[in-house]
A and B are shown apart, each in its own frame.
Chain A
Amino acid sequence: MIIHHPLLGPRDAQEFTYLGDASLIDRPDWQAEHAVDRFHDYLYLRDNPAGEHRELWFHEVGDRSWLVVTRNTLTHEITSVELARDVARSRGRSK
């Protein structure tokens, strides 16, 4: 596969390490009510769609960026690649 890195252009997927669903960005608040349950759902449950999937890839042998790649799990077609940090900020994460 080829991942079009937003900063570095097309790169072979072999340069990357895969983590999983981009929802792993949405780490719950440790002080929220039922925090254990929330963390359980966050860490263990997955949509696991057959189709479009937003997922985290780490440019391990590249610039060490975490990327959010939108890829179809049926065809492997990639439709967008974003810096995970930008995605995280857009989802309200800060410090």
Chain B
Amino acid sequence: MTQSNRLEGGQIDRSRSFDFTFDGKRFKGHPGDTLASALMANGVRLMGRSFKYHRPRGVLSAGSEEPNALVELRSGARQEPNTRATTAELFDGLEAKSQNRWPSLRFDAMAINDRFSNFLTAGFYYKTFMWPAAFWEKLYEPMIRKAAGLGSLSLQDDPDAYDKGFLHCDLLIVGGGPSGLAAALTAGRAGARVILADEDFAFGGRLNAETFTLGDASGPDWVAATVEELRSLPNVRCMSRTTVIGGFDHGIHGAVERVSDHLATPAPGKPRQILWRIYARRTLLCAGAIERPIAFANNDRPGIMLGGAMRAYANRWAATPAQKVAVFTNNDDGHRTAIDLIAKGVRVAAVIDVRADAPRLADCELLAGAQVIDTDGRLGLNFIKLRLADGSERTIECGALGVSGGWNPNVHLTCHQRGRPVWNEAIAAFVPGTLPQGQSVAGAATGDFSTYAVLRSGTDQAVVALSDIGLEAKAIDLPQAEDAPVNLTPFWHVAEGKGRAWLDQQNDVTVKDVKLAHQENFRSVEHLKRYTTLGMATDQGKTSNMGGLAIMAELAGKTIPGVGTTIFRPPYTPVAMGTLGGRSRGQHFHPVRETPSHKWAKEQGAVFIETGNWLRAQWFPRPGETTWRESVDREVRAVRGSVGVCDVTTLGKIDVQGTDAAEFLNRIYANAFAKLPVGKTRYGLMLREDGIAMDDGTTARLAEDHFVMTTTTANAVTVYRHMEFARQCLWPDMDVQLISTTEAWAQYAVAGPNSRKLLQRIVDPEFDISNEGFPFMACGEITVCGGLRARLFRISFSGELAFEIAVPTRYGDALIRRIMAAGEEFAVVPYGTEALGVMRIEKGHAAGNELNGTTTALNLGMGRMVSKKKDAIGSTLSEREGLNQEDALALVGFRPKVAEEKVTAGGHLMTTTGPVDAAHDQGYVTSAAYSPILESYIGIGFLKRGAERMGETLRLVSPLTGTDTEVEVVSAHFVDPEGDRLRA
């Protein structure tokens, strides 16, 4: 296919050609093209279908405000739905497909919807699809859903990488058009740290789209020289292909840099896009303006586009939508389109200007006081029908129509922090109102539209912004430039005409829909938007909201600002979710914490389990073991029979020091700590201030003023935070210091009847760890393996004679190897979290499933531990009646009547005689396991008045898992209830 609509000139590199396909058809374009400009140059006007009526659509704009020309870009796992052809940079081999059509773009069966448009008006679905009632979910909704959406995702994992980064600057300039460039030059020359960001791949903004000269230079030449200077300044960072997506609190901006979207695939090691978080002391918004259309009957045919876009295609990309075009405008700027296209050799049939006194500016026919009242052409514009000033009708043949209703300053970013724009009568548009702190606006975004004015405000505003932060800058000398005033008569829609007049082309919202919304009292601007879906499409109404507001104002007899505006919300343009996710996906979703024995455990073939961010050994399978249960049962038996070792490094450890440390802990724990002797460890229960159990663990007193606390793995961070709160905010004068030492110590539980014998081979001989010398709950600082400092605690989670031994982290790996070697004689086994869990259930120790944030000390059977004689966090509010009910839940054990029957954690307890429903719930099982010692399944859980119900038979029902088991209420201490073993 030849580039039949390619013109002379433009900023494309004709020395090279790119091949690309659209719907499988091959075309050629050039570097510098967008997909839209290349298609246009190849004579393609039809590029998409609308959402609801599947109307044929072509490009409306030449930028990111595009509602119509959306394509699925690329293929396979890189398929990107809803990509705007107007911003997609052409590359060699680009593949694009049209979307939301079947079977093809030209013959779309779903266009039948258009025939039924009388039924499918705004809000039609709220009034219908209700009869018969059952049909909604079975028939209507599936039908609607099937038709929903525009493009499709491949559903394959996104193969590209995304990065995130942080940038800091004195001045962030959003937009690299004439005002942004002038501002950047001003700030850059003053030595300020400047970031200049523009969404386009080329700087220059409208200077690339117009034929203006600046001094002696053409627009693009001035841009090139300016950018060259900026790039030479080390304090200026020029970021093209970078969209500032949102302004957030305190000068923080989000920006997306499209690093590789202009390539077939990212270069090796490069991301597709980068999310930058920009910390700017000052921000200057130079975002320009967006042209707005005029609504008239059948104004949505391919070929009908914004006038400014039409000349942008001609001037920048040397492309025209047709060989014969016309222009429809209410302002002088619209005439520029005709002038520029004529200069490019395109025939301009006429300029139709609604103003009766329109000036004659272009060298073609001027139809002043005329309006476009209809159009024709099935898949592209063929004719326009006019009502002339004298009342007569006239039809003009043309393949494209440039429409200009004036320009709207691009105030989007001024509104992200809830600022509201204000109305400017002179340009009949909203301009920035209250600005976010640290932000100012320059250029067309303020409503100044001439080239000279935007250069002026760019440089001046940069000077002001910098002086705000104490930096001195001088305004640059400005070149001579066009300085035409805005000359416009507000005109929003042509009243005459039988056909529908589109406002929101993507969502198919017409003038009639707005009228209906008004008629049904959906008159607030938000109701209008939500009822009609105006402005809710992928372009967020950048070209359509104003038209809707104007019509609502007309109907309501209000001014446009009296109707209001909807809120502009981030992002400025849609952002790939991959970019916002960055590297945090797959295995990198969260960091991995490994214990010092991780490598060793891996060598032993451990199966690991995620515990928060930690990876812990779950069990250690041996050859021949085919199920996890076999391994776990063996590990439990080995511990209870001889000795085992378990890595408990992940438990939180907090070092507490100071002369008030004991008193501090006395207030942190519900039970008494002040009198804990040196060399002793105590179990502690910590309450939240509301009296609910927060965490538990053991705390050892190593010296008068030195304690070492352990917390559960899950609560290590929150407990530490809580204690710092108490220390700094509640009792600021206590002499106590806290530090988290979780990462500083590797800690192992050595458990089982032979644990002492094993440890005697590890602990240096001068330390007596006999039962007499180091009884149950003893603790001490010792040395191991010939002088390595260590800590030893005689505490037991398994219920066996057991120790926990801690060494500095870097010796953790060495210690586990020494322990295993020393224990060979006792057939020591490593055991994982599963065996640990089984043994703690056998002992009835509470863990995360029991400390679930709703249980009290009373529920846990520790009610008496809560000292009433002291002030401790949570003690006062634990006196409330709700925490002391007569039928309070109590932690008990459960054994199935038939040992082989499973006990289901999460099952609910019911009496054997009463009904089985929520109203008769007796409690629930929190944790369950198979006990290889008892050769039975067992469970622990909470039962109303549990302590009084030993021996009672209950039904443990779990309709969710389909089980219903008879269980007997027993003590939660299944193994060694007297505790003889752990004191041995």
Q: Looking at the complex, which one of B251, B437, B729 makes contact with A25 (CB distance below 8 Å)?
A: B729
CB distance from B781 to the nearest CB of A (A): 25
Decide: A95 and B690 in contact? CB cutoff 8 A.
Answer: no
Q: Is A81 an interface residue (CB 8 A)?
A: no
A56 at the B interface (CB under 8 A): yes
Q: Are A84 and B729 in contact (CB under 8 A)?
A: yes
Kindly identify, within residues 9 to 43 of chain A, every residue whose CB is under 8 Å from any CB belonging to chain B: 17, 19, 24-25, 27-28, 30-31, 35-36, 39-40, 43
Q: Quick check: is B395 within 8 A (CB to CB) of the other chain?
A: no
Q: From residue 849 to 896 of chain B, which have CB atoms closer than 8 A to chain A?
A: 871, 875-877, 879-880
Interface contact A58-B725, CB-CB below 8 Å = yes
Q: Roughly how many angstroms separate A91 CA and B104 CA in the complex, as a whole number?
A: 74
| A7 CA / B653 CA spacing, docked (Å) | 27
B867 vs chain A, min Cβ distance (A)? 11
The 0/1 profile, CB within 8 Å of A marked 1, for residues 918-937 of chain B is 00000000000000000000
* CA–CA, A30 and B875, complex, Å: 9
Listed stretches B50-58, B367-375, B730-738; interface member: B730-738
Asked if B250 contacts A76 (CB within 8 A), the reply is yes
B725 contact from A19, A28, A39, Cβ within 8 A: A19
Is there an interface contact between B731 and A93, defined as CB atoms closer than 8 Å?
A: yes
Q: In the complex, which residue of chain A has the Cβ closest to the Cβ of B689?
A: A43
**In A24-71, which residues have CB < 8 Å from any B CB?**
24-25, 27-28, 30-31, 35-36, 39-40, 43, 56, 58, 60, 64-66
Q: Which of A75-95 contact B (CB under 8 A)?
A: 75-78, 83-85, 87-89, 93-95
Given the complex of chains A and B, what is the CA–CA distance between A77 and B250 in angstroms? 8
Given contacts A1-B249, A2-B252, contact A85 B689 (CB under 8 A): no
Check if B660 is an interface residue, CB within 8 A of chain A.
yes
Given A2-B251, A2-B252, A39-B877, are A25 and B730 also a contact pair (CB < 8 Å)? Answer: yes
Q: Could you tell me if B250 and A17 are in contact, using CB atoms closer than 8 angstroms?
A: no
Contact A2/B250 with A77-B437, A88-B729 known, Cβ cut-off 8 Å: yes
B526 at interface, CB cutoff 8 A: no
- Chain B interface size, as a band, is 20 to 34
B729 contact from A30, A39, A66, Cβ within 8 A = A66
Q: Are B729 and A24 in contact (CB under 8 A)?
A: yes
Which of B252, B279, B724, B733 meets A89, CB within 8 Å? Answer: B733
Contacts of A17 on B, CB cut-off 8 Å? 721
Could you tell me the distance between the alpha carbons of A60 and B723 in the complex, rounded to whole angstroms?
Answer: 12
CB distance from A27 to the nearest CB of B (A): 5
Cβ of B728 < 8 Å from any Cβ of A?
Answer: yes
Interface flags for B231-261 (1: CB within 8 Å of A; 0: not) read 0000000000000000011111000000000
Q: Are A66 and B725 in contact (CB under 8 A)?
A: yes
Of residues 361 to 402 in B, which have CB atoms within 8 Å of A's CB atoms?
A: none
Contact B689 A39 (CB under 8 A): yes
Which of A1, A64, A77: most chain B CB closer than 10 A? Answer: A64
Contact: A66 with B660, CB < 8 Å? no
- Which residues of chain A have C-beta atoms less than 8 A from B876's C-beta? 28, 30, 35-36, 39
B674-704 to A contact mask, C-beta < 8 Å, 1/0: 0000000000000001100000000000000
Which single residue of chain B is at the shortest CB-CB distance from A3? B250
Return the contact of B724 from the options A1, A35, A64 (Cβ within 8 A): A64
Once the chains bind, are A36 and B660 in contact (CB under 8 Å)?
no
The CA-CA distance from A24 to B721 in the complex, in Å, is 14
Instruction: Report A53 CB to chain B, min CB distance, Å.
Output: 14
Knowing A36-B877, A66-B725, say if A88 contacts B732 (CB, 8 Å).
yes
Residues of A within 8 A of B721 (CB): 17, 58, 60
How far is the CB of A8 from the nearest CB of chain B, in Å? 15
Report the minimum CB–CB distance from B458 to chain A (whole Å): 27
Instruction: Name B252's contact: one of A1, A64, A83, A95 (CB within 8 Å).
Output: A1
A95 interface neighbour in B248, B437, B731, Cβ under 8 Å: B731
- CA distance in complex: A27, B871 (Å): 11
Interface of B with A (CB < 8 Å)?
248-252, 279, 417, 437, 660, 663, 689-690, 717, 721, 724-725, 728-734, 871, 875-877, 879-880
New A-B pairs, 12, CB < 8 Å, besides A56-B729, A65-B728, A66-B724: A24-B725, A27-B730, A30-B871, A30-B875, A35-B876, A39-B876, A83-B728, A88-B729, A88-B732, A94-B731, A95-B660, A95-B731
Q: List 20 A-B contacts (CB under 8 A).
A: A1-B248, A1-B249, A2-B250, A19-B725, A24-B725, A35-B876, A36-B879, A58-B724, A64-B724, A84-B729, A85-B728, A85-B729, A88-B729, A93-B731, A93-B733, A94-B731, A94-B733, A95-B660, A95-B731, A95-B734
The 8 closest A-B pairs by CB, nearest first: A30-B871, A2-B250, A94-B733, A85-B732, A85-B728, A88-B732, A1-B249, A66-B728
